[in-house]
Structure 1
Amino acid sequence: MKIIKRFACLMLVALVTGCQSTLIDQPFSADISWQTQTLENGLTVHIKELPNQAVSTRFMVRTGSRDEAEDQKGYAHFLEHMAFNGSEAFPKNEIVSLFGDEGVAFGQHLNAFTSYTHTVYQVDLPSNEKLSDTLAWYREIATSLTLEPEEINKEQGVVLGEFRFSFQGHSDANSTDFEIDRLIAEQLYNVDEDVLGTEDSIRNISEDRLRDFYKTHYTPSRSEIFIAGDVDAASTIKEISALFATWTATDQHAPVNKVSPLSRGENSIVRVNDVSFPSTTLLFDLGANPMETAADFENFAAASILSNAISTRLNDRARDLNAPVQSTHAQLIQWFERMVLSIQVSYETPKQQEAMLFLGEELATLRDHGLSTLEVEAQTSDFLKLESTFADNYTARNYAEDHVFFRMIGRQTLSPETYKSLSTVFVNRADKAWFNKELKSLLTTKDVQSLVALEHHIYPTEQVKQQQLALVADMQKAFKRTGNILVLPDVISDFPMPDKTGEIVAIQDLDDNTTQWQLSNGVTVYLRHMPNSGDDVHVYAGSKGGLAALPPSLGPAGLLMPGAYSESGLGGFSFNDYNRLMVKENAYIEPMVWENLHGFYGSSTKASLPLVLASMFQGFQHATLDEEMFERHKAQFIKNRRQYLDSVDGKALMAVSNEIYDENSVRYILTPEDYEQVSANDVRMAYNNLMRTNRGLVYVIAGDIPVDEFKPLARTYLAGMTFNDLPTESLYAVKLEPKKDELTIAFGPGGNNVELFTMFARDAEKKTTKDYFLADIAGRILTSRLTEQVRETGSLDYSPYSFVMWPGGADTQQLLIVMSSSIIKRKEARAALDKIADSIGHGATPEEFSSTSKQLSHALQDGLSQPQEQARMIFNYVVTDADPLAVVNPDSVIDALTQEDINQYLKAFTSKSATRIDVTNLPSAP
């Protein structure tokens, strides 16, 4: 009897085990910290209490361009614009000034966007003090937009400016990624236009049809409010209930559009902009993912890990084979209601067939022989680190954005902690065999289609289409053949340790969690201990110098140097082996050679920090240049450079820069021929001049690393380095030598777009801590004036802006004011720009100074808890001898600034010794 019972138990276990179809056996649910309630009228409210945090809010309406009738193209997006242009309680543009006075910057904290399926309004508050005003505005958006004819006419000019920005004056428009998104949207949502609509539909907008769209689609049952931060959920829901109680608009039976799968086996042929290389992309429809079951999570995790593994493998093989490709990568697209895997290769047109065959053959090898143990371990480790980083560093804004995003794509919102927990279980149970089975299944699916992107000057005539279809067929044949067996590394030896150590001379406490260290070799270290930063550590290491420290003859070599040494590998490892090791160990490092500084940036987990520091040690001390890899990198660099400089953006930049800067300036634009002349020895000289020379080397480390834990690392990896010492250098010369004070060129995009800018330049002393803040505030003040006068009042441009360009150590600072207009309003636009430029000499009003100071304070708050942002800013500050504690406590500097400080700063740009240059970039000839 006992034997029978035991046998029955074993059979039961076997049956249960055999039926289990997922690796994850732990239950999970939606993020219960979000308190959700649907009001009687159908409005859904989501609130997450986060004591002592800022308050992030969103108002989402489940309507977008797919809901538009044929005579309403672009109306969903246009209505989003009109929400800022007046309602019953907030006339005209009052909402911008209302929130701006409390530190909410238009465009950064106060914004909105429209997609194919949703419209989302955003207000990120520094505290909960303006929450009631925010909710009142959302109520006005829901029911009380005035949509006055005068305001509609004005906003037409702004939206037409967005057309120019998106389709004529912006390099992202008609890029391959843009075309991919448009293709997916067309197939999923049956839309045949961009979200913006058409220029004709906006020029001829109908007030009545706009109101019809508003009344039909802005209804309670289609709307949701999201609030995350320092709020009380019960009282906030009560306030919302009272405020929205009278919103009882009945649904107009607007159709709820269904999502279709992507087309199988379809081939699409498009043209891309002049900045992009031609390319071929494979799109795999991975289906919807509601994230409700273990299978859902495993599908998401596998897609994330395998997309990165495919991308890494393709890049490794392109290097190994010296394949004729410009770039190749895979990425998981999650913006839509179905997950889509994109695998892409770009190339020069004469090399198209070779590049496409490379893609087909390499994907066949992945399908038939899978990933190595090392590849799987590297990507799973990287995935686990990513999920852990999210869990450890979330802010109110992150929570609000994520919850909105997941609601938009139909995915249940999980807490970061749940993601971390599920990721850990998954990674511990999914082995190489499991991943390779999933990879084979993915690469044998029929739910795949191709998109071929042609060069901008090649039109998809019928003959061209047939040629492209033949190339796609050849690629598919290569993919169907059995893939090659590769010898892949499964083990990587340890990275070399430094050959000698040094000592710590002194450690000084700057505050409770920030210390300054002096090492025996003259290196200075700043350790920012951030106990709440989780497992994330960020390192910046370098010194002032950069391209400005090189003689002009070595300038081209300085720009080639980072990529050339990266491609050569590090520590005796090839690039591919080193990259595999870094991914496996959750570590990352990249060289920096900028105009004013040079060095390395790295990130890691706490456990892999020694590998990052050892890599930097090798990078500063023992990097070697492989001449074959250098020649490959130079050729690739020149191709990319020529592609850009032949584009309208590149031509315009070269025309302006080379008109206003001396030919020996670091900002003078070099030609591809200049890079052709660079030898491997030139690059070695640039390396020795920068990396092997100490111009005040500084390390900044931010993360949960206490002082005592870092001491042995400092002695081992930092203090033993030796350099050719140089005294601290003085200001470097920007060499601004304009040939004219007014410049008209014709290198803009063909069509209706005129680009205008005015630049003020003045001599600069050494950049101080106060200067960092004043430069930011100055840019914000002038951008605010542009928004008010050029965008809202003049309706001349969509996104005018201003900023100060002043790298630390430069002898010149430049204030730029930038806008565009339609060609028929060129004179009006220049007059508006001149008015803003002429106002600089009058300084700032008390209201401008107060609001922009608050906006800057608000903008810096999120960075106080982010180790990468703390490391980056402290590094930038201390390299130029500014106060690192200003990064830790920015309000201490902001509060000390005065009205007179900003007035003097602005007025100096219009002094007699300052330079003004006006530039007009007309459309280029067809």
Structure 2
Amino acid sequence: MKTAITLIVCFILTISNQLIGQDLNNQIDLSAKIPVDKNVKIGKLSNGITYYIRNNEKPKDKLELRLVVNAGSILEDEDQLGLAHFMEHMNFNGTTHFKKNELVDYLQSIGVKFGADLNAYTSFDETVYILPIPSDDPEKLDKGFQIIEDWAHNALLDHEEIDKERGVVLEEYRLGKGADERMLQNYLPKVLYGSKYASRLPIGTKEILENFDYKSLERFYKDWYRPDLMAIIAVGDVDTNTLEQKIKSHFEQIPAAVNPRQRETFSVPNHKETLIAIESDKEAPFSRVQVLFKDEGNIQNKVTLADYKAMMTKSLFTQMINNRLDELRNSENPPFVYGASYHGKTWAKTKAAYQSFAMTSETGQIEGLKTLLEENERVRQYGFYEGEFNRAKANILARLEKAEKDKDKTPSNRIVGEYIRNFLNKEPIPGIAWEYNFNKANLPSITLTDVNNIINNYLKTENRVIVITGPEKEGITKVTKAEVEALLKTMQDLKLEPYDDKELANSLISELPTPGSVTNTTSNETLGTTQLILSNGAKVTYKKTDFKNDEILFKAFSYGGTSLYSNEDYLSTAHANRALTEAGVNNFDKITLNKMLSGKIVSVNPSIGTYSENFSGSASPQNLEELLQLTHLYFTALNKDEKAFNSFINKQKAILANVLANPQYYFQNEMGKFLNADNPRYVGFPSPDDLDKANYDLAYQKYNERFADAGDFNFYFVGNIDENKLIEYCSKYLANLPTKNKKEHYKIPDYRPLTGKHTKIVEKGEDPKSSVRIIYQGGTTYDESEAQAFKSLAEILSIKLIEKLREEESGVYGVGAQGRIQKIPYGWYNLSIGFPCGPENVEKLKKDAINEVESIIQNGPTDKDLAKIKEAQILKRKQQLKENNYWINLLKNADFYDKDISNVFNYEARINALTKVQIQDVAKKYLTGDYILCIHNPEK
């Protein structure tokens, strides 16, 4: 092996303190084991509980706790269908130290929101509890561990609480009903042929949820919530010794299971024939096709370096096949809206498959399936090519390098998932530094032949399943099994043309105007920002941060947007605007552009909004120049390509053709039309005819008009910025953009949304599902402190609605309120309450919701509820102040809304100063009057 490679291998040896044995020829010993990241400590208590602990300071003063139970719905007995999931619910409804609803109440008091922060999920093979808590208070820290200890073995399972929770779980069951669920029930037995998985969907059955015996739930808890099936994961801003001590003190005393029930692992039997499932439903909004080539054997643990290298080879294959599919979806007449292939787990823990799937038009299912089969076959016949192979390697290394550079800035909630998968599925956890360096050292030794050979292991006629789902409606001929079988037969002797991989240009920009200059620089020491005035009049504001090592975020805006279009021009271009960037820039189409950017972490997206034209984007610091180059080209050299436009329109038609068959989408559309009945610019869900009328020529003309004056733009950059380079690139790519030396503003519309007392009832769908929306809205004069009080009012109202409608009435699964007062284009307030429920409960729950509003109007909030939302807001802001995304939005919005942000660091004091009287006052002012009521019911 060459000396350079040997040096890289030696470097890997040094940083990993173990790892790679070498033979006499300096080759890597692929039989060596994949190491475990030295940053995580893994231990096991005497009772069998496994624990993972790691100190991680991102974000500061926060700890992510997880209780992982290696048990899910697959372990349910026949009288327990749905009880693995029900048990998850019951852990929030009474434990030894937190009776009834005290748990949620306590966590809200320390700023942890139910649903948004505190949560859990149940699947076929596992149950995972999610608990983020503040870590800067010893009492809160100890209570966090007490909570997960209670979940592990202290659930009370009070009979009264069980019966109350039946209603909540049945509402969740109700939410899942619909076309997709009905079709799933029919095709899952073929995908999971002959296995127990096909009859163990975690939500269970209505009959058992309504009628199960308390002892059935108690038996599930006793059988499966036991130490040898549990892991405690603690990652966050706490030293590992403290974390380990907390785990031992809370969990060591849990007794080990005596004569435990065997935790079986369930397999999926093989089958010789191809199983075909063709399902349709009159409420199905989308058409999909999928082909699975299931592995003959069960999933094997990845243990050695050879296993890891095989995973790398598979990743290269996956990226290349998906790049080809992406090219097809961007063709003028795409065979599908979206398509992808990968090798991975099926619904079953033990069985993996090579899976290709696509979303198609309502009449394009056979064509979509044919394309997937053909592209797989094309790879089998000809393999991939050197150019796409090298681009895939570059992309993989670029992503890993970015992650490695930010390894010390990775949020804890993104780390815990790896440890969950390690416990449940033995997924390797060598750490990102090892993964990056191992890939860097070993990707060169993976050959194109290695990757091309993979397809022969995937494509087989045994264990093959084809699933086709879509709408059932007049005029659409359903695909038949005979058609699918005939298609499969043609694949046997099909001879295809090889893939054509065209040569690429060397640079994005061929000719660049003379650079401009920076004419003025000012700094704001309080905010840590710098503003540049460019020679064409454009303003650039940037903030250098250390929140991420490998991230720069970008935004820009100029006032105007579509508000400056006539009504006629707006309606003609509304459905064409999003297609504009599909054409690419500087004579590079979208496909070519993506290839040219291989190995680079950069994206730029221009858009035209209602009141401004905008840019958003991001880049690694080393790709900052490409970010500015793309921005320059989107100003000056957007392509005009009828084929790209047609591709976009055809995909939109495919997506939207049946979307209104879905009752929920239909309700949204009808509600939108009702609320905007007098709005001359309302478009809603476009019909095929609307899409055909989209005026590409006019949209392209308007785009060039809106981006013709860069001097009217404000640009923002936040992240790990090299200031000298940014100034250089701004001069080179922004300051020389054309300017008209004038300032535009948006046009304030004459139209105002619907106000007053109105009711809209929509009847659609066969399932017994209803939705309720209660809307208070109207004009006002914007005041920043009042806007904050109004937002806080909505958060308090959400707490009360959950307590009343979910916990007390057991009538909903989810409910909430959102409120805001806007400044642009005119002062306007809106508070919306929304929840799904059973049709029989609509009137009662609507009254309950209104009563909660009236209670705040009459009495104001309680001290306790006000304290809860204050704590949550303060905790959230502390975290946001260390995030690039927060800062770039803050800087941009300060200019867009003409707001003073000099007091950004006084936020906590301002929130603490918020009073019950202020909340009650905004409730009286804005919620005393009429409201708009929209109800969705099933068809009678």
TM-score normalised over the length of structure 2:
0.87
Tell me which of 31, 37, 46 is aligned to 1:40. Answer: 46
SS in 2 for 1:919: strand
- AA at the equivalent of 1:616: T
SS in 1 for 2:657: helix
Change (3 A) 1:39 1:251: same
Q: Report whether the alignment pairs 1:728 with 2:735.
A: no
Q: Report whether the alignment pairs 1:782 with 2:797.
A: yes
Separation (CA, whole Å) in 1 of partners of 2:796 and 2:916: 13
How big is each residue's C-alpha offset from its partner over 1:834-853, in whole Å with a ceiling of 9 and x where there is no partner? Answer: 22333453543332232112
Change (3 A) 1:889 1:550: farther
Separation (CA, whole Å) in 2 of partners of 1:880 and 1:642: 38
Displacement of 1:648: 1.9
Partner of residue 5, structure 1: none
Range with bigger deviation, 325-334 or 702-711? 325-334
Partner of residue 279, structure 1: 288
Partner of residue 606, structure 1: 621
Partner of residue 837, structure 1: 853
Separation (CA, whole Å) in 1 of partners of 2:921 and 2:257: 57
- AA at the equivalent of 1:157: G
Structure 1 unaligned regions, length at least 5 = 1-14
Q: Report whether the alignment pairs 1:223 with 2:223.
A: no
Within 5 Å, which residues of 2 pair with 1:558-707? Answer: 558-664=573-679, 667-669=682-684, 671-672=686-687, 673-692=689-708, 696-707=712-723
Displacement of 1:873: 5.2
Change (3 A) 1:27 1:250: closer
Q: Is the 8 A contact 1:662 1:735 kept in 2?
A: no
How big is each residue's C-alpha offset from its partner over 1:421-467, in whole Å with a ceiling of 9 and x where there is no partner? Answer: 223223343344443333x34544567633322224279xxx978x2
Separation (CA, whole Å) in 1 of partners of 2:681 and 2:718: 31
Partner of residue 510, structure 1: 524
SS in 2 for 1:573: coil
Q: Report whether the alignment pairs 1:755 with 2:768.
A: no
Tell me which of 300, 304, 307 is aligned to 1:293. Answer: 304
Tell me which of 365, 370, 373 is aligned to 2:386. Answer: 373
Partner of residue 549, structure 2: 534
Separation (CA, whole Å) in 2 of partners of 1:365 and 1:787: 54
SS in 1 for 2:199: coil
Q: Is the 8 A contact 2:94 2:100 kept in 1?
A: yes
Q: Report whether the alignment pairs 1:315 with 2:326.
A: yes
Change (3 A) 1:397 1:180: farther
Separation (CA, whole Å) in 1 of partners of 2:345 and 2:877: 29
Change (3 A) 1:402 1:861: farther
Structure 2 unaligned regions, length at least 5 = 1-21
Displacement of 1:871: 3.4
- AA at the equivalent of 1:250: A
SS in 2 for 1:47: strand
Q: Is the 8 A contact 2:284 2:470 kept in 1?
A: no
- AA at the equivalent of 1:643: N
Displacement of 1:891: 4.4
- AA at the equivalent of 1:85: N
Separation (CA, whole Å) in 1 of partners of 2:751 and 2:254: 60
Separation (CA, whole Å) in 1 of partners of 2:817 and 2:539: 35
Partner of residue 126, structure 1: 134
Within 5 Å, which residues of 2 pair with 1:739-818? Answer: 741-747=758-764, 749-765=765-781, 768=784, 774=789, 776-804=791-819, 809-811=824-826, 812-818=828-834
Q: Is the 8 A contact 2:618 2:627 kept in 1?
A: yes
- AA at the equivalent of 2:292: L
How big is each residue's C-alpha offset from its partner over 1:478-500, in whole Å with a ceiling of 9 and x where there is no partner? Answer: 36523312331243331115424
Tell me which of 144, 147, 152 is aligned to 1:142. Answer: 152
Separation (CA, whole Å) in 2 of partners of 1:364 and 1:417: 37
Range with bigger deviation, 850-859 or 540-549? 540-549
How big is each residue's C-alpha offset from its partner over 1:576-611, in whole Å with a ceiling of 9 and x where there is no partner? Answer: 111222334333233334445442322322222222
Q: Report whether the alignment pairs 1:484 with 2:484.
A: no
SS in 2 for 1:819: strand
Partner of residue 212, structure 1: 219
SS in 2 for 1:607: helix
- AA at the equivalent of 2:50: T
Separation (CA, whole Å) in 2 of partners of 1:508 and 1:349: 57
Displacement of 1:339: 5.0
Displacement of 1:746: 1.0
Change (3 A) 1:674 1:483: closer
Task: Please report the RMSD computed on the Cα atoms of aligned residues, expressed in angstroms.
Answer: 3.4
Q: Is the 8 A contact 1:513 1:529 kept in 2?
A: yes
Range with bigger deviation, 342-351 or 72-81? 342-351
Partner of residue 49, structure 1: 55
Separation (CA, whole Å) in 2 of partners of 1:27 and 1:244: 31
Separation (CA, whole Å) in 2 of partners of 1:188 and 1:385: 41
Q: Report whether the alignment pairs 1:31 with 2:42.
A: no
Separation (CA, whole Å) in 1 of partners of 2:653 and 2:285: 15
Range with bigger deviation, 606-615 or 800-809? 800-809
SS in 1 for 2:625: helix
Separation (CA, whole Å) in 2 of partners of 1:437 and 1:40: 46
Change (3 A) 1:244 1:627: closer
Q: Is the 8 A contact 1:285 1:339 kept in 2?
A: yes
Displacement of 1:883: 4.9
Displacement of 1:71: 0.8
SS in 2 for 1:224: strand
- AA at the equivalent of 1:127: S
Q: Is the 8 A contact 2:188 2:198 kept in 1?
A: no
Change (3 A) 1:81 1:675: same
Q: Is the 8 A contact 2:48 2:256 kept in 1?
A: no
Q: Is the 8 A contact 1:360 1:478 kept in 2?
A: yes
Q: Is the 8 A contact 1:506 1:517 kept in 2?
A: yes
Separation (CA, whole Å) in 1 of partners of 2:878 and 2:269: 42
Q: Is the 8 A contact 1:66 1:191 kept in 2?
A: no
Partner of residue 409, structure 1: 425
Q: Is the 8 A contact 2:536 2:737 kept in 1?
A: yes
- AA at the equivalent of 1:37: G
- AA at the equivalent of 2:67: F
SS in 1 for 2:622: coil
Partner of residue 161, structure 1: 171
Q: Is the 8 A contact 2:815 2:835 kept in 1?
A: yes
Q: Is the 8 A contact 1:754 1:820 kept in 2?
A: yes
Separation (CA, whole Å) in 2 of partners of 1:195 and 1:784: 28
How big is each residue's C-alpha offset from its partner over 1:545-599, in whole Å with a ceiling of 9 and x where there is no partner? Answer: 4444433323345443444222222111122111222334333233334445442
SS in 2 for 1:583: coil
Q: Is the 8 A contact 1:878 1:884 kept in 2?
A: no
Partner of residue 326, structure 1: 337
Q: Is the 8 A contact 1:661 1:667 kept in 2?
A: yes
Q: Is the 8 A contact 1:57 1:123 kept in 2?
A: yes
Q: Report whether the alignment pairs 1:347 with 2:375.
A: no
- AA at the equivalent of 1:216: D
Displacement of 1:280: 1.7
Change (3 A) 1:506 1:297: farther
Partner of residue 8, structure 2: none
Q: Is the 8 A contact 1:381 1:586 kept in 2?
A: no
Partner of residue 254, structure 1: 261
Separation (CA, whole Å) in 1 of partners of 2:818 and 2:916: 19
- AA at the equivalent of 1:352: Q
Aligned length: 898
Separation (CA, whole Å) in 2 of partners of 1:522 and 1:60: 57
Separation (CA, whole Å) in 2 of partners of 1:476 and 1:294: 40
Change (3 A) 1:113 1:855: same
Displacement of 1:821: 1.4
Change (3 A) 1:151 1:134: same
